[in-house]
Structure 1
Amino acid sequence: MIHKYHNKTSTTMKTKIIILLDESLSMRKKRNEVIGGFNAFLREQKRLKCDTSVLYLVKFNTNVNIVYSGINVADVPELKHSMYSPCGRTALFDAISEGIHIAEEDTDDIENEKVICVIITDGEENCSKDTTKEQIRRFIAQYEAKGNWAFVYIGKNPERWTKEVGMASAHGISYNYNEPKHSFKYISNTVTKYRVSKF
């Protein structure tokens, strides 16, 4: 079931946080650490009161699964073990496309909102059905050009990834497979800085 929050138009700055979370088989060994890291990130974001923020959580393996769509961060439930069961392959490109589109469609006041899309994966694209790398490159260029979108990559071979899709190298770091909590701490710090930044 997709949980969805309907926002009311507001002059308060709204931050959309898109989390694209790898749920492929290779994440299984660190399942507990990933769940704990995500929930720690969520608790930290709930404590921040500088804006109105909503969360989109998209999991991906062979398929793409929208878990939360535009829920106020304060109302987002923590991730349970039953909600995260790694298996299958890595449809990374399809997940990025889906995350962008659900956030784009849920726009109330474009002048007073900003978007950060965080990609979390320990592997590489290997099974997207509908989206190519070139399309992702165009999407990132198109949305970054708007001035109120940012993309962050935490994954395998960040230097190569950022170069191939046209992202700034500073926006990519290696995923810490042995200690996922460190990757989620980096994510929380990055999202916090983005939420408090002025446009």
Structure 2
Amino acid sequence: MADKRKKKADGGILIGFVLDKSGSMDVIRDATISGFNEYKNDQAKRSGTLMSLMMFDTEFVRVCGVVPAAEVADLDYASYAPGGCTALYDAIGHTIKGVDDHIARHGRPGKVLVVIMTDGMENASREYDRQRIFRMIEERQDNRDYEFVYLGANQDAYAVGRSMGVREGRMLNFRPDEDGQTRAFDRLSSATHEVACCMSRSMPSDWLDPDELLRDEPEGAGTGGPKRGRKRPKA
């Protein structure tokens, strides 16, 4: 008997976006607003693109559930006002659950992508911890063909992404300034297009090439960059 989780809707891609709005994001507030809006509008041009948006500071806020990307409202100074701490795990956990629930009700689109963008380390979650997030991400990558992308600033994004179970080639460091954030969204948009248009369910291991963003990193940044053959940590 077929697993209902594998039931597919008509093509397209579902993007679950997890966006940090903790206090440290204030220095790139303008670039985050413009970058997200451009990314979202680029995805909306492609037929069948669905999107959800979860933002987080000390608490997580579901800005919208899964809807056509064209229906996701643009961010502005009122809707994106950084402040507070970093409930990263809670935001990821509830985003995954929202994507799962949508697929259970409406069927699975051709591709599923969860994007996580943050400039800080977890320090405020109440419901989820790293081990639980690791298990959730690993199970959905291995058994449900979900893709996860982790983009991080002010940290070793590769080490943090691996600690949550994100696969190699799907993590990027970005500089916490206007240029770094703009380039991160540009690369994310290109990578999302690659995912959406790829005929195969499984993507190449290096489809998010980090070199483009790291070549201007300060000395010592991104030291945990991709190393082929490195095993994922245990939960």
Q: TM-score, normalised by structure 1?
A: 0.88
Alignment of 1:124-163 (within 5 A): 124-155=121-152, 156-163=155-162
Alignment of 1:1-199 (within 5 A): 11-49=9-47, 52-107=48-103, 108-110=106-108, 112-155=109-152, 156-178=155-177, 179=179, 180-198=181-199, 199=201
The 10-residue stretch of structure 1 (165-174 or 95-104) with the greater mean CA deviation from structure 2: 165-174
Provide the secondary structure at the position in 2 that maps to 1:170. Answer: coil
Bigger relative CO (Cα 8 Å, ≥ 6 apart): 1
Kindly report structure 1 stretches of 4+ aligned residues shifted beyond 3 Å.
Answer: none
Paired letter, 1:68: C
How far, CA to CA, are the matches of 1:185 and 1:109 in structure 2? 30
How far, CA to CA, are the matches of 1:150 and 1:96 in structure 2? 13
Query: How far off is 1:47 after superposition?
Result: 2.2
- Kindly, what percent of the aligned residue pairs are identical? 26
Q: Is the 8 A contact 1:24 1:89 kept in 2?
A: yes
Q: Which residue of 1 aligns with 2:207?
A: none
Structure 1, unaligned stretches of length 5 or more?
Answer: 1-8
Q: Is the 8 A contact 1:120 1:175 kept in 2?
A: no
Paired letter, 2:129: T
Q: Is the 8 A contact 2:41 2:69 kept in 1?
A: no
Q: Is the 8 A contact 1:19 1:58 kept in 2?
A: yes
| RMSD over equivalenced CA pairs, Å | 1.7
Higher Cα Rg, which structure: 2
How far, CA to CA, are the matches of 1:131 and 1:63 in structure 2? 12
Provide the secondary structure at the position in 2 that maps to 1:28. Answer: helix
Paired letter, 1:118: V
Q: Which residue of 1 aligns with 2:233?
A: none
Give CA deviations for 1:119-166 in whole Å, capped at 9, x if unaligned: 000111111111110001100111001242000000031221133122
Q: Is the 8 A contact 2:16 2:51 kept in 1?
A: yes
How far, CA to CA, are the matches of 2:73 and 2:166 in structure 1? 31
How far, CA to CA, are the matches of 1:86 and 1:158 in structure 2? 21
Query: How far off is 1:76 after superposition?
Result: 2.2
How far, CA to CA, are the matches of 1:74 and 1:15 in structure 2? 13
Q: TM-score, normalised by structure 2?
A: 0.76
Q: Which residue of 1 aligns with 2:218?
A: none
Q: Which has the higher strand share?
A: 1
Matched residues, number: 188
Q: Which residue of 2 aligns with 1:4?
A: none
